[in-house]
Amino acid sequence: MSVTITFLRPFARFWVPFTLHRKRKDLCSTILQRYMSSKIPAVFSPLKENASSPEQLELDGWKTTMKSSVQEVVSTSSSSKDEDPLAATRELIETWRLLGKDVPEHINEEQLKTFMECASKSSKKKYLRYLYIRENRKKADQRNKEIKAAAKAAAKKNTLIETTEEKKQQNFLFLRLWDIAMNTAMNWRVAQAMQFGQPLVFDMAYHDNMKPREMRNTIFQLSASEGYNRRNVDPFHIYFCNLKVDGAYYRELIKHYGEKWDKLFLTATEKSLVDLFPKDNIVYLTADSPNVMTTFKHDKIYVIGSFVDLNMQPGTSLAKAKRLKLATERLPLDKYLRWGAGNKNLTLDQMMQILLCLKNTGSWEEALKFVPSRKHIGYMEISRHSQEFASRLKKSEAFNSFPKGSLNVCTKKRWRE
């Protein structure tokens, strides 16, 4: 094929203007006639003479345009590029994009390599989809940024005009340094927590059970929960236990936090949680636990496994707690919520918010507001015991309605006296 192209290429430029041969002209007229009387369906017949439909005409013309366009491309690119799997993959992704599939517009070498390393077809598709969604998000953010910048510029113009109109001295109490002030205040508080706060342990021993994607999610959730803790009135003293230096976890954390990592007010150790705290005080929180957490105890050390499980490994954290012979508890979700759909494993930041809320208020209804509302239908109105009590009251009321009325009369009389 390429040979023919090369052969035709020198002539292509001359041919383009004269593509319509004499035959073609005749055909054009016949086709036009046929289209004018469109009620007669075009019958497909094996005879090429009749059947060279308009589409073919178009496509032939279009072929020549194509050849002239390809000519420039091919002359720059070597033919060995065809053999290169990377280039072929790039081409494939491009065709997929033409088909309107969810694939990214731009893809760099590293991503291509990851794509090639994906084991199966479906994993490749998933990865491309992920890239596509990420790219779309970036684009949308960019657009929003531009819109905001334009609005800001317009607002600035307006304010400038206003300030020129009225140049008044205004008296303020504070300089505008809120963010910094807030940060320092938070840091003081977290520093206090490091000295006197209740420990809350994140168990980092699950790095072997996670794929890169889960790892990313875990890091994100960890940083979110650290943020919630910092903003709280009475923060926990966070421990990252079993954090191997130069492990995958550690690298990801450093990558995420950058320079801030050394300035974080938390304790990161390679030690196990059993070495740090007495065993009797540790409570391992896991959704698989048979024991339900009734109250938040301020003298216990709660442990959360920092583990995002996307591929069905039930009982991993329970097994770990069993091995270390630790007490385990789970949140009383079924008791307080009418559970709808979804996994009872909550994310790390949700757990953090629930625990902080329990620590400060102690009411489960308040704390379980942080459970995603999509997962449950609503709160249990009254617990079963009190429901029975209420129904008993109602029954007695119905039974004693008459004497009750007379009693009321009596009381009124007494009042009068």
Q: Using CB under 8 A, count the residues that bind other proteins.
A: 46
Contacting residue, 71, 92, 129, 347, with other proteins by CB under 8 A = 92
CA distance 142 to 149: 10
Q: Which is nearer to other proteins, 56 or 396 (CB)?
A: 56
In terms of residues, how long is the chain? 417
Gyration radius (Cα) of the chain, Å: 36
Identify the bridge partners of residue 239 per DSSP, sorted by sequence position.
Answer: 201, 267
Contacting residue, 7, 15, 35, 188, with other proteins by CB under 8 A = 35
**DSSP assigned state of 271:** S
**Residues 6+ away with beta carbon under 8 Å from 311:** 211
Identify the bridge partners of residue 376 per DSSP, sorted by sequence position.
Answer: 339
CB 308 within 8 A of CB 351: no
Determine if 207 is a binding residue for other proteins (CB under 8 A). no
Contacting residue, 23, 322, 338, 412, with other proteins by CB under 8 A = 322
Q: How far is the CB of 243 from other proteins (least distance, A)?
A: 21
Determine if 398 is a binding residue for other proteins (CB under 8 A). no
The span of 96-104, 105-113, 186-194, 261-269 binding other proteins (CB under 8 A) equals 96-104
Determine if 3 is a binding residue for other proteins (CB under 8 A). no
CA distance 151 to 157: 10
Determine if 287 is a binding residue for other proteins (CB under 8 A). no
- In this structure, the number of other CB atoms found within 10 A of the CB of residue 242 comes to 21
Contacting residue, 70, 264, 327, 380, with other proteins by CB under 8 A = 70
Grouping H, G, I as helix, E, B as strand and the rest as coil, residue 240 is strand
In the shown chain, the binding pattern of residues 117 to 136 toward other proteins, with x for contact by CB under 8 A and - for none, equals: ----x--x------------
Identify the bridge partners of residue 319 per DSSP, sorted by sequence position.
Answer: none
Determine if 67 is a binding residue for other proteins (CB under 8 A). yes
Grouping H, G, I as helix, E, B as strand and the rest as coil, residue 338 is strand
The span of 92-100, 172-180, 301-309, 337-345 binding other proteins (CB under 8 A) equals 92-100
Determine if 41 is a binding residue for other proteins (CB under 8 A). yes
CB 283 within 8 A of CB 326: yes
Torsion sign, CA atoms 335, 336, 338, 340 = negative
Q: Which is nearer to other proteins, 61 or 247 (CB)?
A: 61
Determine if 292 is a binding residue for other proteins (CB under 8 A). no
Residues found near other proteins in the complex (CB under 8 A): 1, 5, 35-36, 38-39, 41-42, 44, 46, 53-59, 61-63, 65-67, 70, 82, 85, 88-89, 91-92, 95-96, 98-101, 121, 124, 290, 315-316, 318-320, 322-323
